[in-house]
Amino acid sequence: MTNISIRERFRTFLPVVVDVETAGFNPKTDALLEVAMMTVKMDEKGFLHPDELMHCNIRPFEGSQINEVNIKFLGIDPFDESRDLKDEREGVVPMFKAISKLVKKEGCTRAILVGQNGSFDLRFLNALCERIKYKRNPFHQFSVFDTASLAGLVYGQTVLSRACEVAGIEFDDLKAHGADYDTQKECELFCALYNRFTTYAGFIATYSDL
């Protein structure tokens, strides 16, 4: 048994895994097409496990740019209403609110984004909040836990599929590049990285000890 909590372990931050799919690389001009978020939970031994997944397909915002190379890579029609498209506010704000509620429940101050090259995902979320004038973004405005960097350090691999393979996590290339699937795999990878570190290094001094 351990008395450690997520709040103590991550300096009052709540890790939330995020993946976005986009129609380009400029968060201010290019359309946001998919958003997925997945929470983690800590067991009584202090190890992390994937928890709840949230996902939505986003209708491109008015005037946004669509890079055809990105669309072909993703293999989707960004204007296909059969994908249950939602406007940015309708699709993402409920996720923000759910995360904020969990942050409060865990006694944390903010969520911190976990992602494969997580600064990319964070820039698109920050741009969305600016666009829709949403001032309650639960995520830290610039800090992230980057699984590409962590996996490169621990497993010697920075590509998600290869890092998962080395970590013993099943990965289906045919399902890759969908925000929901990639988020699940990034979450499994983050938990594996954290649990591996904890197994070999033990529990570090917690926030309350400092």
CA-to-CA distance for 22 and 95, rounded, in angstroms? 18
* Domain presence at residue 71: yes
What residues form DSSP beta bridges with 146? Answer: 115
This model's pTM is above 0.85: yes
Q: Based on the number of CB atoms within 10 Å of its own CB, is 53 exposed (0-12), middle (13-18) or buried (19 or more)?
A: middle
CATH number at residue 107: 3.30.420.10
Q: Is residue 153 part of a domain?
A: yes
Q: Which of 48, 27, 21, 42 is nearest to 150 (CA)?
A: 48
Which structural domain range is residue 165 located in?
Answer: 6-200
**Distance separating alpha carbons of residues 155 and 166, to the nearest angstrom:** 7
| pLDDT tens profile 88-115 | 999 999 999 999 999 999 999 999 999 9
Residue 206 confidence (pLDDT): 62
Q: Is 99 helix (H, G, I), strand (E, B) or coil?
A: helix
Q: What is the pLDDT of residues 138-171, one digit of tens each?
A: 999 999 999 999 999 999 999 999 999 999 999 9
Return all residues near 197 (Cβ < 8 A) that are at least 6 apart: 154
For the segment 117-126, the average pLDDT, to the nearest whole number, is 97
Residue 210 lies in a domain: no
When divided into structural domains, the chain yields a total of 1
Residue 94 counted as domain residue = yes
Q: Which residues are catalytic?
A: 177
Tell me the backbone φ, ψ of residue 100, rounded to 5 degrees.
Answer: -60, -40
3 state SS of 152: helix
| Tens-digit pLDDT profile for residues 69-82 | 999 999 999 999 99
CA dist., res. 177 & res. 54, Å (int): 16
